[in-house]
Structure 1
Amino acid sequence: MSKKIESATFSRRSLLRTALSAGVAAVAAPALAQQQSPIDSLINAPGRGSWDDQFDARGSRAAVGVISNNPILGPEGPANIQQAIAAYQQIVSNGGWPEVNPTNRLQLGVADPVVQQLRRRLTISGDLDESAGMSNAFDSYVDGAVKRFQARHGLPSDGVLGEFTVKALNIPAQTRLMQLQTNLVRLQSMSGDLGQRYVMVNIPAMYIEAVENDRVALRTNAIVGRISRPTHAINSKIYEVILNPYWTAPRSIIEKDIMPLMRKDPTYLTRNNIRLLDNRGQEVSPETIDWNAPKAPNLMFRQDPGKINAMASTKINFHNPNNEYLHDTPEQGLFNKMMRFDSSGCMRVQNVRDLSTWLLKDTPGWPRQEIERVIATRQNTPIKLTQEVPVYIVYITAWSAKDRVVQFRDDIYQKDGDQELALQTTNGMEQPAGAITDRDILPQ
């Protein structure tokens, strides 16, 4: 961060600041492109990154500026993305942007000729101001611009050019333009009256917005369906919040996951509080089942409420034919992953109690304190909403809110028509034996 400057010290840094305030720093203007003043030389100096640290605070705030309480959906969505389309058409007509091909790790403090390519690329996309110049130094200007770019693309805003940041940088402008045009059609279909209060789940962005009066009241991360078991896009209504839910395993998970686990470890169901129930509701002992049989038994596999329940504290139901829902998870660490395509179709919600409180605000008797008290009892408690809340589960990989910050996300389900946009894929991970979680037996 910025170093404190003693008042008696007169440095090149303070000289530049004085010159800038006097209006001498319009060095990026086209009219001066063929000239180079002493201030130009200072700004473009290769060693500038070692002393131009008064801009560190500004750079560190660049990624924060991408965050907005403007919702993705709504009547203004198409107009906002059309502005972005016009801007990207201009970029394409001007020849697009250069590729960035670093041979060394690029981050704050590094000096490398490739940084000039990076500066040009970030300037064209609007992440770096032209006044930052064209030196080889990866200084705080570039650091802030990279963080802003990363935030706009759903990447960790660490300012380091890792594999996926470089891949995102090198997607051609023409491809990004086509991505915007594809998503314009999707946003146009969602531009009507969505309701005063609604929930949106954006699958590629892996996050949830709770919107009220056209403003985002709550935004939180989500874990959505893996490629082989995708989350379905649907318009529906949330009608129920269940505290301390039972989890009933879908047939697909019984066959694909539980049966193989029981062959390896016959105590798995017992250890994880999963009971077998027949059609009369009578409990059946796991020891009486032939787990090597070709077909799974025609029984209900139901997990008791508790800390290791696959849905943890909360299940949020909405009308749908896919047996999908929103829910809590006992493995909160999964939300730290960059790519959160890990479920079997359901959506796990970070800070689910905040969302539950928001959903139940119009249902009498359910303030946050009462929700917490009931969760602590471990007693299954279904709560019907007084008024159902619309939920829109959408697949939007590019958008621009009215703040004109253009956002792009990975086309994880490959619906945008260009394989180049699916930068990252996930096929799930081998899970260790142990307590049941929604990583090893994933609720549908």
Structure 2
Amino acid sequence: MSAQNMLAQQLALMRAVEPESNYEHDQTRLTTTLVPSDQLLAVERHIVDFWTRRQIPIRNTAYQSIQDPYTRAMAVEPDLESYLQLQNRLKHLKWLSETQSWSAIELEGLIRPNKSHQSIATIAKRLWLLADADSNLLDPQKPNFYHSALVNSVKRFQKRHGLTPDGIIGSETLKWLNLAPSDRSLLLSKNFIQRAEFMAQQLDRFLVVNIPAFEMELFNNGRIELASKVIVGKPYRQTPVMSGSISNVVINPSWRVPKNIMYNDLLPKVRENGHYIEQRNFDVFDRNNKLVKYSAEQWSELARGPFPFRFVQRPGGSNTLGRYKFYFPNDDSIFLHDTSDPNLFNRSNRALSSGCIRVEDVEGLANWIAANLVKDKQTWVDRHVDKKKTQWFALNSTLDVHLVYWTAWIDKNSQAQYRNDIYHKQSLTTVATNSIEHNNDL
């Protein structure tokens, strides 16, 4: 690739992040004419400034000593992991956008394995173009038949988009198949740079929760020491994008039920079944903080009117917070915790909570914090025997935690990953309507 084309490709990436800039003019000139060396140096300065503002260094630290402007231009690249893979992917998407028709595939109902459908030929070609199939898997003898090799490619495609890899083609799989290559490129560019800028500013040890990916990663000295599935807030009770520092860990926490959850979730259940309070191990307190007790029938009736009480769920196996609570001060009362319903982690759409983050590998996170941050390690061991006694543990240093929102990235296998924009924060003009319920196509 020529120096001008390499610069033009970087400018295209920069335009995706800063669309209001003048990069388009420079990019057009670079791809249509031979640019004089002085103007080439001006473009170079724009590129260096773009990465510098994001605290991302240029890979070749000695690029300024290179005299020939065209050779020098080829050395001006950011020092970013997966940057080459990103550029290769963006080049491919640009080629698709310029050479391939990408009209919407329409479908009524579902396409199941070993069935025939008139759209199979188009789907097979599209999977091949998106590199989810090694070749065009269309069977010339049965061009409309959904055979096993094609099913495996669909499963790979579904997994790469955060869907349940069941091989059943429905509305969610179709939505991602219909996403225009130009929109894929835009999503990948913007999110890649957002993540790169974020990572460049972090300290050696931190925890990051990617909300739309439903994933948590614990970084320590540049490597991932723990990864886990998580559950995040529902679209109408969103987990906020924010940062904080875990300062305390609680074993066997009690749960002080927030008012909105009490009114919206618990009281309807109490109205139906007054025994719900006892069955779920709730204590109820009045406004004077006095424990109050009523019969099941009385609770059911009280729940139908003004309710001047608050709920506190006792520690134990049925506690909503589970065994651990990881507390970090914030105005939204958000924290990380265990769960009493681990089966929910089997879903692909895990936007299921009231805003807090539930961690699947909560034992792994607790053990890492105990080994690295907890002051009183002996008490930590002792308290694990009693599963109903609450114990707060102070840390000898805090652990930074970041709740972020990235819907696309390059994974460790150099594959482009995409996830649903569950909170509609990254709108695209030509993206098919985002469905919130995307745990599978059924």
Q: Same fold (TM over 0.5)?
A: yes
Q: 2:435 aligns with which of 409, 424, 435?
A: 424
More deviation in 282-291 or 357-366?
Answer: 282-291
Q: 2:423 is paired with a residue of what secondary structure? A: coil
Q: Which residue of 1 aligns with 2:58?
A: none
CA-to-aligned-CA distance 1:46-70 (integer Å, 9 cap, x gap): xxxxxxxxxxxxxxxxxxxxxxxxx
Shift of the alpha carbon at 1:222? 1.4
Q: 1:166 is paired with a residue of what secondary structure? A: helix
Q: 1:385 is paired with a residue of what secondary structure? A: strand
Matching of residues 275-424 of structure 1 within 5 Å: 275-278=283-286, 281-286=289-294, 291=302, 295-297=306-308, 299-363=309-373, 374=384, 376-401=386-411, 403-418=413-428, 420=431, 423-424=434-435
Shift of the alpha carbon at 1:294? 5.6
Q: Which residue of 1 aligns with 2:125?
A: 120
Answer yes or no: is the 8 Å Cα contact 2:408–2:417 preserved in 1: yes
Answer yes or no: is the 8 Å Cα contact 1:221–1:350 preserved in 2: yes
Shift of the alpha carbon at 1:381? 1.6
Q: Which residue of 2 aligns with 1:34?
A: none
Q: Which residue of 2 aligns with 1:230?
A: 238
How well do the aligned residues superpose, as a CA RMSD in angstroms? 3.4
Answer yes or no: is the 8 Å Cα contact 1:75–1:193 preserved in 2: no
Q: 2:332 is paired with a residue of what secondary structure? A: coil
More deviation in 215-224 or 116-125?
Answer: 215-224
Q: Which residue of 1 aligns with 2:257?
A: 249
Letter in 2 for 1:193: Q
* Residues 80 and 315 of structure 1: CA distance in aligned 2, closer, same or farther (over 3 Å): farther
Letter in 2 for 1:302: V
Structure-2-length-normalised TM-score: 0.70
CA-to-aligned-CA distance 1:402-427 (integer Å, 9 cap, x gap): 53211111111111113845532249
Shift of the alpha carbon at 1:229? 0.7
* Residues 142 and 259 of structure 1: CA distance in aligned 2, closer, same or farther (over 3 Å): closer
Letter in 1 for 2:232: V
Shift of the alpha carbon at 1:152? 0.7
* Residues 254 and 102 of structure 1: CA distance in aligned 2, closer, same or farther (over 3 Å): closer
Shift of the alpha carbon at 1:112? 5.6
Matching of residues 18-417 of structure 1 within 5 Å: 76=81, 81=86, 83-95=88-100, 97=102, 99-101=104-106, 106=111, 109-110=114-115, 114-130=119-135, 135=140, 136=143, 138-184=146-192, 186-278=194-286, 281-286=289-294, 291=302, 295-297=306-308, 299-363=309-373, 374=384, 376-401=386-411, 403-417=413-427
* Residues 102 and 267 of structure 1: CA distance in aligned 2, closer, same or farther (over 3 Å): closer
Letter in 2 for 1:303: Q
Query: What is the rounded CA distance, in whole Å, between the counterparts of 2:328 and 2:114 in structure 1?
Result: 50
Query: What is the rounded CA distance, in whole Å, between the counterparts of 2:404 and 2:168 in structure 1?
Result: 30
Query: What is the rounded CA distance, in whole Å, between the counterparts of 1:105 and 1:226 in structure 2?
Result: 26
Answer yes or no: is the 8 Å Cα contact 2:285–2:310 preserved in 1: yes
Letter in 1 for 2:293: S
Shift of the alpha carbon at 1:263? 3.3
Q: 2:200 is paired with a residue of what secondary structure? A: coil
Q: 1:169 is paired with a residue of what secondary structure? A: helix
Answer yes or no: is the 8 Å Cα contact 1:410–1:422 preserved in 2: no
Query: What is the rounded CA distance, in whole Å, between the counterparts of 2:259 and 2:86 in structure 1?
Result: 41
* Residues 173 and 134 of structure 1: CA distance in aligned 2, closer, same or farther (over 3 Å): farther
Structure-1-length-normalised TM-score: 0.70
Shift of the alpha carbon at 1:396? 0.8
Answer yes or no: is the 8 Å Cα contact 2:128–2:135 preserved in 1: yes
CA-to-aligned-CA distance 1:184-238 (integer Å, 9 cap, x gap): 4532541323222222111111121222333332222111111111110112112
Query: What is the rounded CA distance, in whole Å, between the counterparts of 1:235 and 1:80 in structure 2?
Result: 29
Q: Which residue of 1 aligns with 2:49?
A: none
Q: 2:198 is paired with a residue of what secondary structure? A: coil
Structure 2 stretches of 5 or more lacking a match?
1-78
Answer yes or no: is the 8 Å Cα contact 1:194–1:390 preserved in 2: no
Letter in 2 for 1:176: R
Query: What is the rounded CA distance, in whole Å, between the counterparts of 2:307 and 2:186 in structure 1?
Result: 46
Structure 1 stretches of 5 or more lacking a match?
1-73, 428-444
Answer yes or no: is the 8 Å Cα contact 2:125–2:136 preserved in 1: no
* Residues 369 and 418 of structure 1: CA distance in aligned 2, closer, same or farther (over 3 Å): farther
Letter in 2 for 1:358: W
Query: What is the rounded CA distance, in whole Å, between the counterparts of 2:234 and 2:329 in structure 1?
Result: 21
Query: What is the rounded CA distance, in whole Å, between the counterparts of 1:286 and 1:77 in structure 2?
Result: 61
Residue-pair matches, total: 354
Query: What is the rounded CA distance, in whole Å, between the counterparts of 1:119 and 1:204 in structure 2?
Result: 28
Q: Which residue of 1 aligns with 2:6?
A: none
Aligned-pair identity (%): 27
* Residues 383 and 295 of structure 1: CA distance in aligned 2, closer, same or farther (over 3 Å): same
Query: What is the rounded CA distance, in whole Å, between the counterparts of 1:272 and 1:192 in structure 2?
Result: 45
In proportion to residue count, which structure has more helix?
2
Letter in 1 for 2:164: P
Answer yes or no: is the 8 Å Cα contact 2:321–2:338 preserved in 1: yes
Q: 1:190 is paired with a residue of what secondary structure? A: helix
Q: Which residue of 1 aligns with 2:45?
A: none
Answer yes or no: is the 8 Å Cα contact 1:200–1:394 preserved in 2: yes
Q: 1:204 is paired with a residue of what secondary structure? A: coil
